[in-house]
Amino acid sequence: MNRVARLIDLSWAHKNQFLGQDIGIAVVDTGIANHIDFFYNHQSRIVAFKDVINGRKENYDDNGHGSHVSGILGGSGEASDGRYVGIAPRCHLIGVKVLDYKGNGNISDVLEGMDWIIANRKKYNIRIMNISVGTGSDKEIDENSLLVQGVNKVWDSGIIVLAAAGNNGPNPKSIGAPGNSRKIITVGASDDDVLVEIAGNRRKDYSSRGPTQECIVKPEIIAPGTNIVSCMNNRVGYAVKSGTSMATPVVAGAVALLLSKHPNMTPREVKIRLKNRAVDVGYEFEKQGWGMINVRNLLLD
């Protein structure tokens, strides 16, 4: 995460105490473990947990993906003596388990999880939804797919939605649902030019490219997603993972920092701000969209 912090110019925000304080981020994923990086002053920052898969009340993660994403979003770095600090280390985390222990799930479960988020958005101050979940299957990537309708509904409720572009690059038009929604913010990986392992396969140039099947420019923005160190699904461990699933919480965390400075910004205002403050890093438009997230640019008035 130190490399990520340098690449996105994060230190200025943390030095100025923009830490995502009390901003609720819903993590639609495999769950979230009780890692000590998710505590502050001995109090858990996991303020709510919804288990669509098994109906359990206490938060857990039987896969690890959701905890890794959550650590990028808001890990405190406590278990690593401050080495692996997340983007918004004082945010509140809302775990929404819609995927099973293998990381698989049904669209109906994802939709149920998103409906729960909308219903509970005020109770838990849910301002952001991170969904590093998606499908690349042809039947589900048109704009009228159920997943796209679902994320659009969350966006329309006033929650800023960030979705992973997917790991089906480098071919154009390879972004699946729900990242192909024209409303939400879709995140690609900026550093996919090295060979890494994703879901058991060795991959390079993995970040899905735009435009969508309807020729909408995607992704909107890119962030580091390769060889990211973050929380495991236990108390103190860390693991390395790669993919646009890891890039998405980098941007979602940056949005939490922005909201800790400007709490009344609407989803549309946040999206415009991201567009205007991203940095062109020289990739083709289909890969980088507006460019790379830069936290200092994003927060400075």
Q: Which residues are catalytic?
A: 29, 65, 245
SS (H, E, C) the chain: CHHHHHHHCCHHHHHCCCCCCCCEEEEEECECCCCHHHEECCEECEEEEEECCCCCCCCCECCCHHHHHHHHHHCCCHHHCCCCCCCCCCCEEEEEECCCCCCCCCHHHHHHHHHHHHHCCCCCCEEEEEECCCECCHHHCCCCCHHHHHHHHHHHCCCEEEEECCCCCCCCCCCCECCCCCCCEEEEECCCCCCEEECCEEECCCCCCCCCCCCCCCCCEEECCCCEEEECCCCCCEEEECCHHHHHHHHHHHHHHHHHHCCCCCHHHHHHHHHHHCECCCCCHHHHCCCECCHHHHHCC
Phi, psi of 201, rounded to the nearest 5 degrees: -115, 140
Pairing of the two strands 160-164 and 92-97: unpaired
Task: Say how far apart CA 229 and CA 80 lie, in whole Å.
Answer: 11
Task: Say how far apart CA 80 and CA 85 lie, in whole Å.
Answer: 8
Q: Other CB atoms closer than 10 Å to residue 173's CB: what's the count?
A: 17
